[in-house]
């Protein structure tokens, strides 16, 4: 993004000229510093120019400006966009923001016609429109990245549909599951994130342009035309709300925050699983670093950074909530503080999604180690209890008690449940038969979990096919 800044006072671009004849002198250096937003809102240049094009065409169609002036304005806007893209545009702090930088340069190019562009609009409705367009573009880009992440997870889930691993509650071994089932859990989470993005996009897709400063305008504008030209579903319905609404930014940050939670949880799995103590996976060299003092170290830094950056996004949401919470209608300059956290959080999540996709694609899973650990911690105890209910018609609470006694016996003997003899089991309940040993293997355990949404490999393969159909369409 071009970032040429001009900090010199230029009388032809003085802030007093921007504000109008009421002010005889420009602002102090401190006021200029606190007031200027061009250092960050120049990112809105494409959306700002897009909105100005639609506005100019509407003004001409309504006979508010001449076709000749509209043509000159449109040609000038094309030239400005080209200059910015080429890095040849000089952004001036004395002109405060992207809107006045573009308008001032437009006047240099086309003369007085440029002054007519701002007819029937204000920077209040202009910036609201620009930011909505930017968020909409950001949503579309992020949704594509999340789709790529889902596909990466689905591919690895299909590869490991039958790879047995321990499932956890309280980070304690609970029941055997498959790695494919585990990875598909995150496909579901990301799917909900994409759904929330879609909802956010639908809600924001009303056009504020034409609300002007706060009360609408006396000019015979056609707000439906500008809304349609900019791809909105229609114009916003209340001019006061139009210029003061930042719900769409808050909602987008909320969605990003929930996404940050999901990515952070997956990153935490990676951090744990790559440790020597777990030894379940290896993050590729592309996403790992070493230690400056310990040559044996191999740190999953990318995963740790994804985990850490979630807090940065949460902070952006809390910051903007705090800005907006006490504002009366309509626009307050406080709302200029919406853009930096919005841009930063969006960039951060886009980077995190890309990093996570790369880590998932290139990870190596140590399935033998996973399978070995799947049988530890009496992970098939629930299978034993279920067998007692199914075969011996025992009430589940009684089966739970019997299984607990057998777990205690196995602990005392230093063996797993499968290491107990039939005589050991008879010491607790004489009705148990040798058939019980069939459910104590981890493969048998996962294969038996055939309920809808369960971890049985056959279920996982079916879920992979269904997920791929949902995601790829």
| Residue 94 to residue 29: CA distance in whole angstroms | 10
The catalytic residue among 195, 275, 291, 354 is: 291
- Both tokens of 166, joined, read 């321990």
Question: Which of 63, 172, 71 lies closest to 113 in space, CA to CA?
Answer: 71
170 is catalytic: yes
| Residue 183 to residue 180: CA distance in whole angstroms | 5
The catalytic residue among 170, 218, 292, 451 is: 170
Any idea which residues carry the catalytic annotation?
A: 170, 291
């Amino acid at each position: 993004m071009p970032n040429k800044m001009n900090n010199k006072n230029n009388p032809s671009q003085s802030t007093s000229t921007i504000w109008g004849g009421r002010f005889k002198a420009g602002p102090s250096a401190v006021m200029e510093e606190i007031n200027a937003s061009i250092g960050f809102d120049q990112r809105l240049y494409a959306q700002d120019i897009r909105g100005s094009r639609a506005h100019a065409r509407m003004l001409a169609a309504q006979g508010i400006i001449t076709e000749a002036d509209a043509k000159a304005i449109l040609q000038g806007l094309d030239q400005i966009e080209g200059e910015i893209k080429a890095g040849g545009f000089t952004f001036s702090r004395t002109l405060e923001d992207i809107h006045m930088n573009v308008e001032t340069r437009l006047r240099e190019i086309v003369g007085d016609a440029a002054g007519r562009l701002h007819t029937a609009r204000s920077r209040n409705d202009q910036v609201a429109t620009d930011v909505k367009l930017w968020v909409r573009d950001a949503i579309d880009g992020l949704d594509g990245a999340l789709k790529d992440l889902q596909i990466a997870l689905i591919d690895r889930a299909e590869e490991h549909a039958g790879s047995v691993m321990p499932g956890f509650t309280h980070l304690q071994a609970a029941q055997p599951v498959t790695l494919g089932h585990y990875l598909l859990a995150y496909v579901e989470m990301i799917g909900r994130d994409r759904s929330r993005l879609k909802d956010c996009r639908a809600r924001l897709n009303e056009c504020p342009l034409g609300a002007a400063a706060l009360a609408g305008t006396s000019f015979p504008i056609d707000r439906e035309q500008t809304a349609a030209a900019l791809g909105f579903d229609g114009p916003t319905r209340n001019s006061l709300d139009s210029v003061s609404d930042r719900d769409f930014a808050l909602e987008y940050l909320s969605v990003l925050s929930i996404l940050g939670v999901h990515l952070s949880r997956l990153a935490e799995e990676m951090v744990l699983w790559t440790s020597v103590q777990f030894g379940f996976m290896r993050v590729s060299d592309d996403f790992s670093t070493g230690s400056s003092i310990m040559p044996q170290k191999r740190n999953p830094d990318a995963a740790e950074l994804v985990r850490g950056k979630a807090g940065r996004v949460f902070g952006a949401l809390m910051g903007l909530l705090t800005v907006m919470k006490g504002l009366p209608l309509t626009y307050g300059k406080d709302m200029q503080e919406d853009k930096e956290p919005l841009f930063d959080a969006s960039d951060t999540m886009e980077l995190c999604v890309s990093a996570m996709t790369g880590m998932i694609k290139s990870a190596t899973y140590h399935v033998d180690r996973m399978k070995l650990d799947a049988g530890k911690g009496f992970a098939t105890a629930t299978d034993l209890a279920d067998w007692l209910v199914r075969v011996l018609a025992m009430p589940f609470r009684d089966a739970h008690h019997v299984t607990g006694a057998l777990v205690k016996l196995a602990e005392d003997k230093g063996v797993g449940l499968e290491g107990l003899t039939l005589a050991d089991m008879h010491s607790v309940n004489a009705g148990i038969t040798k058939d019980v040993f069939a459910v104590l293997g981890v493969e048998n355990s996962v294969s038996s979990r055939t309920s809808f949404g369960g971890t049985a490999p056959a279920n996982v393969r079916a879920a992979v096919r269904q997920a791929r159909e949902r995601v790829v369409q």
